[in-house]
């Protein structure tokens, strides 16, 4: 038979358990938001304190002498605590507010008398003191019952993705798992990798295409439609800051295929450039496109199949697996077999000196249509990393952090065509089609579209191209 007292205890416990659940679900939401907003501290235990402080004996009542029924659930210790006088004698099982409430002694002070277990909370889970968890690009350590987090700005910022996708900017953003966990600085440091163009490159004369000024340019042009099988899709540079090499090798390969009318359609090896274009020894730590084109002219590259990308770029700075030497009749030959021993052809491909294409929109279009894809040097803003589909334009963000990385923001890509489409606000917008080097899972199958004719992200600032160097025996 239950006494009235036991029913009281039971209903009290039920209420407490219900409240704990309410509180837990509420905490889950609140803390999540707080954590994302601030990244500084996670004070799960404070919430507990606020809820339970003083609520044990105060709610339950104090009992005279020894009374084994005078208990309540002590959540923090996962045990029962007592509010009878007897508890005082053992002094280990009293409720935390027993003294202050039942004996009217000095208020319990959490700083001098911590009574709940050490540790921190995150998503309803308790972590030991000293635990380390990763929160996007920051690591948080549980210390003194608080999460202490590093304060990096992350490359992937959920609020930026939301801003882009909610606004009518003409493109949509995505949370890329390959960028999650990187800091913004590492994004600029490892995912781009073209040095700002040298004054020499910028002062090069601009060439204009030989097509008549009045040439009718189609509304839509894609290099791979005009030259199927002769142009090359995007590779993935991963965390190797070598867009200088990827874009140069790719433009050179397309141009050699087009110029040889399909006789030489091999993709060229960016790894060959990364490992062997040695003068500055930049490799995966950025490089200059002047140097890359110099190498293509003077030394030449083997195919991508012959000298494939190394899986671990970090382990490869060891050196160049092959060189080329001249045969005295204007051709160069590789000094060694292919690093990929399945590939037998170690043919060397070379280019003419590079030339600068005029920055005028129509000149760039004529050049692509007549001679093939071109290299463009652009400035990458933080939102660009999140690009998924549409016509990219830089969406101004309030983050000042990226201004610190001005020098790291230069990137080289390949322009392969253009078009016109309804974009932001339903307006008709002109765009370039460009190949990036972040793999096919990024953007539109590795490509992106970007506003055309307005120098968006400096995309029209410096356009470079070259001819394949084919000897007469190479000509079709």
Ligand X SMILES: *[C@@H]1O[C@H](CO)[C@@H](O)[C@H](O)[C@H]1NC(C)=O
Closer by beta carbon to ligand X, 265 or else 397: 397
Does the footprint of ligand X cover residue 382 (CB under 6 A)? no
Should residue 461 be labelled a site residue for ligand X when binding is judged by CB under 6 A? yes
Using CB under 6 A as the binding rule, whether residue 453 contacts ligand X is answered as no
- SS3 of residue 281 by DSSP: coil
367 near ligand X, judged by CB under 6 A: no
The candidate with the shortest Cα–Cα distance to 70, out of 85, 90, 55, is 85
Q: Is 28 in the site for ligand X (CB under 6 A)?
A: no
Clarify whether 152 is annotated catalytic.
Answer: no
The secondary structure element, H or E, covering residue 292 is helix 289-298
Could you say which of 38, 280, 335, 370 contacts ligand X (CB under 6 A)? 38
Stretch that binds ligand X, among 94-102, 142-150, 175-183, 274-282 (CB under 6 A): 175-183
Instruction: Establish if 359 lies at the interface with ligand X (CB under 6 A).
Output: yes
108 binds ligand X (CB under 6 A): no
Judged by beta carbon, residue 44 or residue 96, the one nearer ligand X is 44
Q: Could you give the C-alpha distances from 278 to 114, 174, 317, 318, in angstroms and in order?
A: 62, 37, 10, 11
Q: 187 or 300, CB closer to ligand X? A: 187
Residue among 6 and 314 whose Cβ is closer to ligand X: 314
DSSP string covering 55-92:
-SHHHH--BSS--TT-EEEEGGGTEEEE-BHHHHHH-S
Task: Choose which of 177, 210, 341, 472 interacts with ligand X (CB under 6 A).
Answer: 177
* Residue 331 binds ligand X, judged by CB under 6 A: no
How many residues touch ligand X under the rule CB under 6 A: the total is 16
d(CA 151, CA 155): 13
Report the residue number, 335 or 406, with the smaller CB distance to ligand X: 406
At residue 456, the 3 state secondary structure works out as helix
Question: Binding pattern to ligand X, positions 264-303, x when CB under 6 A?
Answer: ----------------------------------------
Phi and psi at 447, nearest 5°, equal -100, 165
Which one of the listed residues 399, 436, 445, 455 is annotated catalytic? 436
Region near ligand X per CB under 6 A, out of 35-43, 63-71, 303-311, 362-370? 35-43
Burial class (CB in 10 A: 0-12, 13-18, 19+), 98: buried
Residue 460 interacting with ligand X (CB under 6 A): yes
Q: How far is the CB of 453 from ligand X (least distance, A)?
A: 10
**In 319-475, which ranges are continuous DSSP H helix?**
361-371
Q: How far is the CB of 178 from ligand X (least distance, A)?
A: 9
Q: Which of 54, 61, 110, 158 binds ligand X (CB under 6 A)?
A: 158
Q: Which of 399, 411, 445, 455 is catalytic?
A: 411
d(CA 96, CA 165): 50
- Residue 180 touches ligand X, criterion: CB under 6 A: yes
Minimum distance, C-beta of residue 403 to ligand X, in the bound complex (Å): 14
Identify whether 394 is a catalytic site residue. no
Among 13, 40, 343, 381, binds ligand X (CB under 6 A): 40
Residue 175 binds ligand X, judged by CB under 6 A: yes
Rounded distance between C-alpha atoms, residue 339 and residue 321, angstroms: 7
Contacts of 416 (CB under 8 A, 6+ apart): 222, 223, 224, 231, 368, 373, 433, 434, 435, 447
User: How many angstroms separate the Cα of 239 from the Cα of each of 63, 245, 316, 369?
Assistant: 67, 14, 13, 33
Residue pair 446/436 in contact by the 8 Å Cβ criterion: yes
Strands 206-207 and 355-357: parallel
Kindly state whether residue 439 participates in binding ligand X, applying the rule CB under 6 A. no
- Binding pattern for the stretch 188-227 against ligand X, x by CB under 6 A and - elsewhere: --x-------------------------------------
Return the residue of 26, 172, 198, 314 that touches ligand X, per CB under 6 A. 314
| Helix axes of 4-38 and 44-52: crossing angle, nearest 10 degrees | 150
d(Cα 311, Cα 328) in Å, to the nearest integer? Answer: 36
**Which residues are marked as active site?**
411, 436
Q: Which residues bind ligand X (CB under 6 A)?
A: 37-38, 40-41, 158, 175, 177, 180, 190, 239, 314, 359, 455, 458, 460-461
């Amino acid at each position: 038979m239950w006494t009235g007292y036991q029913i009281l205890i039971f209903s009290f416990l039920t209420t407490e358990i219900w409240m704990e659940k309410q509180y837990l679900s509420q905490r889950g939401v609140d803390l999540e938001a707080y954590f994302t907003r601030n990244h500084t501290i996670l004070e799960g235990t404070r919430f507990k304190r606020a809820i339970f402080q003083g609520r044990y004996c105060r709610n339950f009542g104090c009992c005279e002498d020894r009374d084994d029924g005078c208990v309540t659930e002590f959540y923090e210790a996962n045990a029962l605590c007592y509010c009878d006088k007897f508890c005082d004698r053992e002094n280990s099982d009293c409720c935390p507010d027993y003294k202050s409430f039942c004996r009217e002694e000095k208020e319990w002070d959490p700083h001098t008398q911590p009574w709940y277990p050490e540790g921190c909370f995150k998503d309803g889970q308790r972590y030991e003191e000293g635990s380390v968890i990763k929160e996007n690009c920051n690591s948080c350590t549980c210390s003194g019952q608080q999460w202490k987090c590093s304060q990096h700005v992350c490359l992937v910022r959920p609020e930026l993705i939301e801003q882009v996708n909610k606004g009518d900017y003409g493109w949509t953003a995505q949370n890329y798992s390959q960028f999650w966990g990187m800091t913004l600085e590492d994004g600029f440091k490892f995912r781009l990798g073209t040095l700002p163009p040298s004054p020499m490159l910028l002062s090069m004369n601009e060439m204009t295409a030989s097509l008549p000024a009045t040439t009718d340019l189609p509304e839509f042009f894609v290099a791979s439609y005009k030259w199927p099988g002769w142009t090359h899709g995007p590779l993935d540079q991963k965390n190797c800051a070598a867009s200088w090499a990827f874009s140069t090798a790719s433009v050179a390969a397309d141009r050699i295929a087009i110029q040889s009318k399909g006789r030489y359609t091999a993709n060229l090896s960016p790894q060959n450039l990364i490992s062997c274009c040695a003068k500055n020894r930049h490799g995966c730590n950025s490089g200059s496109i002047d140097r890359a084109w110099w190498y293509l002219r003077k030394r030449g590259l083997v195919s991508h199949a012959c000298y494939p990308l190394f899986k671990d770029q970090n382990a490869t700075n060891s050196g160049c697996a092959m060189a080329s030497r001249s045969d005295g009749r204007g051709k160069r030959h590789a000094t060694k077999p292919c690093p990929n021993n399945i590939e037998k052809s170690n043919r060397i491909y070379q280019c003419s000196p590079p030339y600068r294409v005029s920055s005028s929109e129509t000149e760039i279009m004529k050049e692509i249509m007549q001679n093939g894809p071109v290299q463009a040097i652009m400035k990458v803003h933080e939102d660009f990393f999140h690009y998924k589909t549409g016509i990219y334009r830089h969406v101004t963000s309030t983050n000042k952090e990226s201004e610190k990385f001005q020098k790291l923001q230069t990137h080289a890509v390949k322009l392969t065509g253009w078009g016109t489409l309804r974009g932001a606000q339903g307006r008709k917008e002109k765009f370039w089609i460009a190949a990036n080097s972040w793999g096919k899972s990024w953007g539109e199958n590795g490509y992106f579209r970007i506003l055309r004719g307005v120098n968006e992200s400096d995309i029209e600032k410096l356009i470079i191209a070259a001819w394949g160097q084919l000897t007469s025996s190479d000509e079709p």
